[in-house]
């Protein structure tokens, strides 16, 4: 299916590699946040985004807001939900945007085909059907209004400060260098999270 898409969605699609429903949801969430909070204010004051999933929507958010995992302005809490917080850094004001329940995105036929294609090699017929389903979902998401797709509410939180931690420590078990923010103290040693998880597992098995 051929789509004529807005330039910002084209940018996100180019970055992500293809056009898909989750990417469109991320794009539409950014679009709604700009409408509510104001693009100029967002650019002037700076925002932090909290996303409650790790889907393709994240690439749209990184491309369109400039909030990335690397610059600490994008935080991911992977609950598998299309819920997004757009928060001004200085005031803590913002908006929470959540995806409405849309059955067309998760029909039994679509879910079954997707699961099958993820597990087994697909044949051309199945691939073509799957792509048609994706295209139809993209089309519906692009044609719907913001109110059709999302619920939202304005929020007020404590001002958000991006933590920048670059100092390194050496794990006292494996010897790897690790960010200070990613260490734990146990049994009198400073260790990395990887070794900490192994230690916890050993204690639980004893």
Per residue in 116-133, pLDDT (tens digit) is 888 877 788 888 888 888
Say whether pLDDT at 95 is over 70.
yes
Spatial separation of the C-alpha atoms in residues 67 and 79, rounded to whole Å: 19
Spatial distance between the Cα atoms of 21 and 57, rounded to a whole number of angstroms: 8
Q: Across-strand partners of 85?
A: 50, 96
| pLDDT (mean) for 166-189 | 94
For residue 186, the number of C-alpha atoms closer than 13 Å in the C-beta half-sphere is 16
Phi, psi at 90, each rounded to 5°:
-80, -35
Cβ 126 vs Cβ 134: under 8 Å: no
Q: Is pLDDT of 201 > 90?
A: no
Please report the domains of the chain, with CATH numbers, ordered by start residue.
7-156 (3.30.1330.130), 168-205 (3.30.60)
The angle formed by the CA atoms of residues 32, 78 and 150, to the nearest 5 degrees, is 25
Question: Percent of the chain having pLDDT more than 90?
Answer: 69
């Amino acid at each position: 299916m051929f789509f004529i898409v807005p330039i910002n969605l084209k940018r996100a699609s180019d970055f992500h590699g293809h056009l898909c429903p989750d990417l469109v949801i991320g794009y539409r969430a950014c679009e709604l946040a700009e409408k509510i909070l104001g693009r100029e204010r967002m650019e002037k004051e700076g925002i932090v985004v909290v996303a409650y999933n790790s889907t393709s929507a994240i690439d749209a958010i990184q491309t369109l807001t400039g909030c990335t995992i690397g610059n600490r302005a994008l935080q991911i809490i992977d609950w598998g939900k299309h819920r997004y917080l757009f928060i001004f850094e200085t005031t803590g004001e913002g908006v929470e945007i959540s995806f409405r329940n849309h059955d067309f995105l998760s029909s039994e036929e679509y879910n079954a085909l997707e699961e099958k294609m993820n597990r087994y090699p697909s044949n051309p017929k199945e691939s073509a059907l799957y792509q048609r389903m994706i295209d139809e979902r993209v089309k519906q998401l692009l044609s719907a209004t913001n109110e059709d797709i999302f619920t939202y509410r304005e929020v007020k939180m404590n001002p958000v400060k991006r933590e920048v931690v670059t100092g390194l420590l050496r794990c006292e078990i494996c010897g790897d260098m690790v960010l200070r923010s990613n260490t734990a103290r146990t049994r009198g040693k400073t260790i990395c999270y990887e070794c900490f998880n192994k230690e916890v597992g050993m204690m639980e098995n004893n």
